[in-house]
Structure 1
Amino acid sequence: MSGSTSRTMSAAAVTAAIDRNIAHTVWRANQMGSYQADVTATGYQSLDRELPNGGWPASTLIELLLQQAGIGEMRLLQPALCAIGRKRRIVMVQPPHLPQVAAWAGWGLPADRFVWIRAARTADALWSAEQVLRNGSCGALLFWQPQVRNEALRRLHLAAQGSTTVFWMLRPLSASEHASPAPLRLALRPAPAGVSVDIVKRRGPLAERPLYLALAPDAALPSTSYRSHHAPMDKHAPAAVASRSVPAALV
């Protein structure tokens, strides 16, 4: 074998290795991209088909843009949360309503699988979410934040990339009008017995039309408690204690 042929084969091998290593970061606009990290199935086949790698990716920022809280977003995430919660803890930062423990238990997830963080200031909430991602001990993070600066989003996305956590950030639908570093952004609107999902941004071609996902009724709530038609959260949460010297509370 001549020296030139050997060099040609070596160059081809190097090129092939580079292609394999960067395939998850480069995609054509008319093709579905991919993630290097693991994914968790959404539990809805029609939605899985529209997402790169067929599910919720770990190690990245996922934005759920809500028309309003309680339209079915928690039941949409229920299959993924149940799959993750069987092995690792789930953290909720700044949920809009008090989490309904009875509903989680009805899903088969005991209360000790959840950590609820309530912060008095936005800066504390952002810091808490970033530390959860950097710690790496939790399988999923849900972070509700109505207003956040773009540089804070970049910090959270960077922290997520260094973790194996599935990270959902829940923001108002109006945030879809602004740029975001999140590779995956879904707009959620209420629909009869379900939810309408518009894929605002993904590593792939533009979605032609919104998806309709039928959501099963949440039968886990006991009849003696407040029964929500959408999310497993109590509508009337006690007011947070105002204190200038107390840091973010871990409940």
Structure 2
Amino acid sequence: MLTPSSPAPAPEAIHPSLWLASQLARGGARGVASGFQALDAELPEGGWPAGVLIELLLPQAGIGELRLLRPLLARPPQQRERPGAGRIALLQAPHAANAPGWTHMGVAASRLLRLQAGSQADACWAAEQVLRADSCQALLLWQARIRADSLRRLHVAAQGGSTLFFLFRPLACAREASPAPLRLSLRPAPDGLEIGFLKRRGPLRERPLFIPLTPSPNLQRHAPVDRRTPAAAATGSLSPELAG
């Protein structure tokens, strides 16, 4: 029995989904390791959360966003997982998938499921079906514009399964409201990315986190470049090693 002098119980002792504003959320299911210890340390549940909407906001495509996801996507499906669980759905990708590039990433082309829709509404419908089927390891969706009600529907659909759901949007969308519990900004930096934490279940982090990335195999074939300033990526590219 608590008395006025008794210390307040820890939030997680009251309910596993509660946490202090100064803490990262740790009460839900364990996150999926990103492959970068520094990033996992800053993510609630210690990794990428499955079954939710994750927004990655970029100044332009092709800055290394897929190399950031490489350790996750290259993870082979476990035998105990449901049939087809190792598939990776690419919806509205800017370019056709380059099989050798994905193989270099450790992802067999047979695991890729490339989907194209004729309109924004059709793309959101297709994404919702993939999430509700819960038959893929990950869904990657590229959308420059998306309605607020569509975002809510997608987040609800994601919560019904365990698919890792990444939505790539322009950095300008950072000012818009979103139901996504995790929103990260990605900016190119010499030999890696700077990650800003726009929204997470936990305290505000004002300084960006630098994550080093393995260079693209295409870049390795060229002469060395001055790394004091990052090279601009071609707008609309799907990452150098993955563009067709």
Q: TM-score, normalised by structure 2?
A: 0.81
Corresponding position of 2:53: 61
Q: 1:44 aligns with which of 21, 36, 40?
A: 36
On the 8 A contact 1:102/1:222 being kept in 2, the answer is no
Q: CA 1:29–1:191 in 2, change beyond 3 Å: closer, same or farther?
A: same
The alignment's C-alpha RMSD in Å is 2.6
Q: Deviations over 1:163-197 (max 9, x none)?
A: 11010000000110111000000000111111110
* Aligned position for 2:90: 92
2:187 to 189, 209, 220: 189
User: Where does structure 1 differ by over 6 angstroms across 4 or more consecutive aligned residues?
Assistant: 220-223
SS at 2:75 equivalent: helix
Q: Which of these two proteins has the greater Rg computed from alpha carbons?
A: 1
Name the SS for the 2:217 alignment partner: coil
Tell me which of 219, 227, 243 is aligned to 1:234: 243
SS at match of 1:233: coil
- Given that 1:74 and 1:232 are in contact with CA atoms closer than 8 Å, whether structure 2 keeps it comes out as no
Higher strand proportion: 1
- Percentage of identical aligned residues: 48
Q: Distance in 1 between matches of 2:53 and 2:238?
A: 28
Structure 1 pair 48/231, CA: closer, same or farther in 2 (3 Å)? farther
Match of 1:162 in 2: 160
Q: How many residues align?
A: 216
Q: Flag the structure with higher helix content.
A: 1
Matched residues in 2 for 1:133 and 1:32: separation?
A: 26
Alpha-carbon spacing, 1:85–1:64, altered in 2? closer, same or farther (3 Å) = farther
What is the rounded CA distance, in whole Å, between the counterparts of 1:21 and 1:162 in structure 2?
25
**Aligned equivalents of 2:238, 2:107: Cα separation in 1:** 20
Q: Which residue of 2 aligns with 1:142?
A: 140
Gaps of 5+ in 1: 1-7, 9-15, 236-251
The one-letter code sitting in structure 1 at the alignment partner of 2:75 is A
Instruction: Give the distance between the partners of 2:212 and 2:191, measured in 1 at CA.
Output: 6
- The answer on 1:28 being equivalent to 2:20 is yes
1:63-109 deviation line (CA, Å, top 9, x unaligned):
00011000000000000111155761110100112211111112332
